[in-house]
Amino acid sequence: QVHLVESGGGLVQPGGSLRLSCVASGNFFSINSLAWFRQVPGKERGLVASINNGGSTNYGDSVKGRFTISRDSANTVSLQMNNLKPENTAVYYCYAETLWDQSYPDASNCWGQGTQVTGSS
């Protein structure tokens, strides 16, 4: 019912910047919040940043001050990643929390496929 497509990942040198974007499409009433998670092999996915309908944001401690999440539209979220470090290398996933409505009973929270971010020379 919900399809998320991430883009913007790539390889950059340490200190460089990337801007990730995620667009939600499909059959759903609305999206309550959007978030970015990261995952490296052998570790659980961890929250990078999130934003709700009211614009409230939450950041992981390791990215605070360097990354900025923004709600570009109701169904679009971006993550500005500045001063990238090698430890930021991971697959970044978009996550959408949908607001249930009787017209879209099958809509559910959804993960994107992920986009690779590599911060190395």
The arithmetic mean of pLDDT across residues 80-86, rounded, is 97
The arithmetic mean of pLDDT across residues 34-56, rounded, is 95
Give the pLDDT confidence score for residue 121 in this predicted structure: 84
Give the pLDDT confidence score for residue 74 in this predicted structure: 85
Give the pLDDT confidence score for residue 85 in this predicted structure: 96
pLDDT tens-digit readout, 106-116: 888 999 999 99
Give the pLDDT confidence score for residue 47 in this predicted structure: 96
Query: What b-and-e string marks burial along 87-108, b requiring 16 or more CB atoms within 10 Å of the CB?
Result: ebebbbbbbbbbeeeeebeebe
